[in-house]
Structure formats: structure tokens, C-alpha cells
Amino acid sequence: MASEPTLSSAERYRPNSFVSLPAELDRSTFDVSPERRRAEAERLAIRARLKRQYQLQLHNPNPAPVIENPALTRWVYARTHNVYPTFRPTPKTSFLGLVFAIGPLLFWATIFKVER
Amino acid sequence: SQMTQDMLPGPYPRTPEERAVAAKKYNMRVEDYEPYPDDGFGYGDYPKLPDKSHHERDPWYQWDQPDMRHNWGEPMHWDFDMYTRNRVDTSPTVVPWHIMRRHFLIFLGTMLVMFGIGGMYPSYMPVGPKQYPFNDLYLERGGDPNKEPPVVTHYEI
């Protein structure tokens, strides 16, 4: 097996949609360039700002009845109200719709018609 | 709730200005913000976050919601309810997935093939006809008790 290069077991790890790459094997975590540092600092700033807003509301002496999480509202809205307006019949969606929605309907209808 | 329509999710962003506005809306950096591809599936401008479950989030960090490992205002994954700690876990495995899958399929395939062959060509231990006592159960089978039963021997010497 001289032609096959010997890989370490870490390099043989292949992430997919079921498992993710651990941070120890991810080359991007070793990157300490200034751009990455600035990006991390910006993310931290956003996080800190949100934490501050939340803490102010949480420890408010005259508290509001409910601390509403806008991210949660947006998530719920996106999954319920925003699907129909943004849906567009494309070859892929109409094919999937046929296979998963119309297909079983016709399949079971014919089965019941033929077998009973 | 006090949210205006422009704070709620909308259609897919087409121009860079729309992308910047959407990134700001979702509390993300413009470089981090990546919407789902515009395939007409109904995602709109919702950001595509990495598909990592909450099992992988730092257990020692002071989350605002420790059970959900989620901070207030942080953009939630589209499949947030799937990636909670009660459900799907995408933590890295000790053995790579493709090796596990290969081993499992080899085992499953071998077992199925062996069972299939065994079903087509069954083999049993050799058995002889069953031997009954009392002269082949002469009386139980309705033989006349007054007559002498025929002698039945199941052995040869």
C-alpha cells in the first residue's frame, strides 16, 4: 500500500449533516489573524449589547409583565406566517410536493380501490 | 407585541442593502448573515445558521436560558426545536460516521444474506419417526381391550 498516503485518524474524520467537526480538528479555530479577532470582537459586542438589554429588563424594579424575546417572535413568524408569502413553485418544490403529497394520496386510493 | 412589520422576517433579500438591513434585524454581523438559498421553499430572509445542536454549546457559559443554552435576542436556528438537548444531537463522534456506517452495513448485509440463504436452503438435524409406547398406543387409539395387541418393537439388536 505504498501508493496510498497514510492519514492520521484526525484527518480521516469526515463531518456530515449528522455529526459536526470538533473544534480541535477545525483549522479555522487555529486562525488568529487580526481579521478573525475583529470579527470575534464584533460578535462579542453584539452579544454584550443583547445581554445588557436583557439584564436591564430582568432586574427592572417596575418590571414589565413579560420579557418578550424578539428572536423567538421572529422565529415563530418565519416558520408559520412567512412560509406562504415566500413560497414559489419551482421544479424542485413542485416535484417534492408531487412525491410527498399527491403520490401517497393516489397510491393509497388505488390500493383501497383494488384490494377491497 | 410591540414589533413593527419591518422587524419581522420578510422575503429573500436581493440587494446588498437589503442583506445589511436583514442582518441588522436579526442581530447578526453582515458578514455572518447568510440567508437560505432562494429555492422557493418558504424560508424568506431567515438566516442559515450552522446545523449544530444544543448539546455542543458550552455547558459552563452563563446562558440567559440555561436549559435551552440560548441567549435572549440571539437568532434561533430554523430547526431550533429539533436541536434541543432532548432531541437530535450532532456532537462529534469518537469514530467517524462513515466508518460506523460502513461497519453497520457490512454486519447488516452479512446477516441478511445469511438469513436469506438459510431460508432458501434450510438444513435440520436428521429425525426419525416418533416412537409411541404401549404398542403404538394401541388402547388409546381405540384398539379392542379384549384382543391381544400386536407387538411393536422400535429397536433392533
What per-residue confidence (pLDDT) applies to A2? 47
**Residues of chain A found within 8 Å of residue B74, distances taken between Cβ atoms:** 47, 50, 71
Comparing B120 with B141, the larger pLDDT belongs to: B120
Determine the distance in angstroms separating the CA of A7 from the nearest CA of chain B, rounded to an integer: 13
In B, minimum Cα distance to A83 occurs at B42
Model confidence at B1, pLDDT cuts 50, 70, 90, reads: low
CA separation, residue B79 to residues A10, B38, B148 (Å): 29, 18, 86
CB–CB of B1 and A73 under 8 A? yes
Cell of B16: 446588498
The complex scores an ipTM of 0.76
pLDDT score of B25 more than 60? yes
Backbone angles phi, psi at B41, to 5 degrees: -85, -10
What pTM value is reported for the model?
0.76
Query: Do residues A46 and B27 make contact, with C-beta atoms less than 8 angstroms apart?
Result: yes
- Select the residue of B43, B56, B73 nearest A69 (Cβ to Cβ): B73
**Residues of chain A found within 8 Å of residue B96, distances taken between Cβ atoms:** 12-14
**Residues of chain A found within 8 Å of residue B46, distances taken between Cβ atoms:** 74, 78, 82
pLDDT score of B123 more than 50? yes
- Select the residue of A18, A71, A75 nearest B90 (Cβ to Cβ): A18
What per-residue confidence (pLDDT) applies to A1? 43
Q: Which of A13, A36, A87 to mutate to test the interface with B (most CBs of B within 10 A)?
A: A13
User: Which residues pair with residue A87 across a beta bridge?
Assistant: B41
- Select the residue of A21, A67, A87 nearest B42 (Cβ to Cβ): A87
The CA distance from B55 to B87, in Å, is: 9
The CA distance from B92 to B69, in Å, is: 18
User: For chain B, what percent of residues have pLDDT higher than 90?
Assistant: 48
Model confidence at B138, pLDDT cuts 50, 70, 90, reads: confident
What per-residue confidence (pLDDT) applies to A5? 63
**Residues of chain B found within 8 Å of residue A51, distances taken between Cβ atoms:** 64, 71-72
CA separation, residue B157 to residues A82, B58, B130, B153 (Å): 91, 82, 19, 11
Q: Choose among B74, B52, B53, B48: nearest CA to B63.
A: B74
**Residues of chain B found within 8 Å of residue A44, distances taken between Cβ atoms:** none
pLDDT score of B131 more than 70? yes
**Sign of the dihedral defined by the CA atoms of residues B38, B43, B49, B54, in that order:** negative
- Select the residue of B29, B75, B78 nearest A42 (Cβ to Cβ): B29
Answer whether B28 touches A (CB < 8 Å).
yes
Helix (H) / strand (E) element for A36: namely helix A34-58
Query: Do residues B65 and B47 make contact, with C-beta atoms less than 8 angstroms apart?
Result: no
The CA distance from A82 to B47, in Å, is: 13
pLDDT tens digit string along B40-84?
Answer: 888 888 999 988 899 999 999 999 999 999 999 999 999 999 999
Q: At B7, is the secondary structure helix, strand, or coil? A: helix
- DSSP 8-state code for residue B41: B
- DSSP 8-state code for residue A99: I
Say which residue the cell 436583514 belongs to: B22
Mean of all residue pLDDT scores within chain A: 85
Determine the distance in angstroms separating the CA of A35 from the nearest CA of chain B, rounded to an integer: 12
- DSSP 8-state code for residue A101: I
Comparing A69 with B148, the larger pLDDT belongs to: A69
User: For chain B, what percent of residues have pLDDT higher than 70?
Assistant: 99
Model confidence at A41, pLDDT cuts 50, 70, 90, reads: very high
In A, minimum Cα distance to B10 occurs at A82
Query: Do residues B83 and B52 make contact, with C-beta atoms less than 8 angstroms apart?
Result: yes
